[in-house]
Amino acid sequence: MGENKNPETADLIFDGKKISLPVRSDNQGQKGIDIRTLRRDAGLVTYDPGFANTASCQSSVSHVDGERGRLLYRGFAVEDLTENCTFVEVGYLLIHGRLPTRTELEKFSALLNRHSMIHEDMRTFFSGYPEGSHPMAVLSAMVVSLSSFYPELEESETEELDITATRLLSKLRTIAAFSYKKSIGEPFVYPSYKLSYCANFLNMMFSSPVTDYQIDPVLVRAMNKLLILHADHDQNCSTSTVRLVGSAAANLYACIAAGICALWGPLHGGANQEVIEMLERIHREGGNVDKVIERAKDKKDPLRLMGFGHRIYKTYDPRAKIAKTICTEVLGKLGVKDPLLEIAMKLEEKALADSYFAERKLYPNVDFYTGITYRAMGFPTDMYTVLFAIGRLPGWIAQWQELKRDPEQKIWRPRQLYMGADHAPFVPMEKRG
């Protein structure tokens, strides 16, 4: 397939017939062939496992520039947002499409406080989970359960969308903290209207009736930054899941619960837990990073260097750069000396100098350094992906909302190339095997 002289179409010659397909361009110069009439006009479908070459939608929520290592939320560089904004401000930006005024931010924060509790009857749900349940399992189940307690409001009214969105943003944090408290057998700590979003979360996580938890502004700032880093990332796996489920007109809670399940996968958000487990293993085995690198390069070995590589970034992930800075700052300010940080830095240095990683353009991704910071802050390993989910929520909501408002979107229903039998003669039970 080649582009013809008219830049607006690409010609495909198939079976002696020329089919002209329109070409669309995004505002970053990425061109895309609009194949919507391909099957009708040529009887063809496209084959693209993993959708590596497929644009599933037009979006203006966020943009990942994998060549230049840039990440934009609504046009703003993630570096500027992490430096100057709170997570709540960035959540507003993603959902509403612009930065809030002071009054809008105050109103949004007040709404977040008002909706931060979960229905008392939901407390009993936590007791139904066996000891050792992964908090991501609890989180996804609790989020879908919210739909029974807080039926979705009509998204056509801005104020009503605000309420559903703020309910989710606020309650996800409460559910996350409650699932942690349940897992360690401590009483739940309720949200407080006196505290900001991140301070409230840290307080619900770490205070208890017998410990006077001092909310450290250094940790609150780090928490804000880390959540901002995760707030959106164009059409990644969990966001695409949210959109896919949303395309069937499922309610917002169901879509977000599905997104949480996708995020849990170790190739996606679950990698932050895997990174720490990998670093701990290296530490236990004497700190030799060479063995892991050799194993990651060996095609017969299923081990991958967790926290390394990305579908889009072919240079250093800008989030990883910021996460590394946050990590050294937090550990420095807390006076924590974590041998895992040293191992991570050694691993990064060796991998970047290795031709296997260089040729494939594999660099540290966002998950490489975040876990070490979470560890220093006191989060247990299995909560790391939950933190990713809290961060990603405003992006999921914004993307879901964009899908709903996009007149070109329809139910997502890919085609396949069927490779199975054409006609298998039926075999009655008594004649099988």
Tokens read off for 37: 């009439």
* Three-class SS state of 375: helix
Q: What are phi and psi of 230, to 5 degrees?
A: -100, 0
Nearer to ligand CMC, 138 or 271 (CB): 271
Question: What is the amino acid identity at position 267?
Answer: L
Q: Which of 367, 382, 422, 423 is catalytic?
A: 367
> Are the C-beta atoms of residues 334 and 218 closer than 8 Å to each other?
yes
Nearer to ligand CMC, 268 or 333 (CB): 268
Q: Who's near 135: CB < 8 A, 6+ residues apart? A: 176, 179, 180, 183, 382, 383, 386
Distance, first Cα to last Cα, the chain = 49
CB of 175 to ligand CMC, least distance (A): 22
Please confirm, yes or no, whether 119 is among the known catalytic residues.
no
CA 84, distance to chain mean position in Å, is 22
CB of 95 to ligand CMC, least distance (A): 20
Q: Which residue is nearest to ligand CMC (CB)?
A: 309
CB of 157 to ligand CMC, least distance (A): 33
Nearer to ligand CMC, 268 or 283 (CB): 268
Q: How far apart are CA 241 and CA 244, in angstroms?
A: 5
Nearer to ligand CMC, 179 or 241 (CB): 241
CB of 422 to ligand CMC, least distance (A): 32
CB of 233 to ligand CMC, least distance (A): 6
Nearer to ligand CMC, 175 or 305 (CB): 305
Nearer to ligand CMC, 96 or 233 (CB): 233
CB of 305 to ligand CMC, least distance (A): 4
Q: Who's near 130: CB < 8 A, 6+ residues apart? A: none
Q: How far apart are CA 290 and CA 296, in angstroms?
A: 10
> What residue has token string 């879509």?
255
Nearest Cα to Cα of residue 394 among 78, 165, 141: 165
Q: How far apart are CA 355 and CA 47, in angstroms?
A: 31
Tokens read off for 389: 């989910």
Question: What is the amino acid identity at position 330?
Answer: V
Nearer to ligand CMC, 45 or 267 (CB): 267
Nearer to ligand CMC, 103 or 355 (CB): 355
Nearest Cα to Cα of residue 164 among 227, 231, 111: 111
Q: How far apart are CA 265 and CA 284, in angstroms?
A: 25
Q: Who's near 332: CB < 8 A, 6+ residues apart? A: none
Q: Which of 134, 230, 233, 310 is catalytic?
A: 310
Tokens read off for 7: 């830049």
Beta bridge partners of 72: 63, 77
CB of 267 to ligand CMC, least distance (A): 4
**E strand or H helix at 20:** strand 17-25
Please confirm, yes or no, whether 406 is among the known catalytic residues.
no
CB of 110 to ligand CMC, least distance (A): 32
Q: Which residues bind ligand CMC (CB under 6 A)?
A: 50, 233, 236, 267-269, 271, 296, 304-311, 360, 362, 365-367
Tokens read off for 406: 């996009």
| Active-site amino acid positions | 310, 367
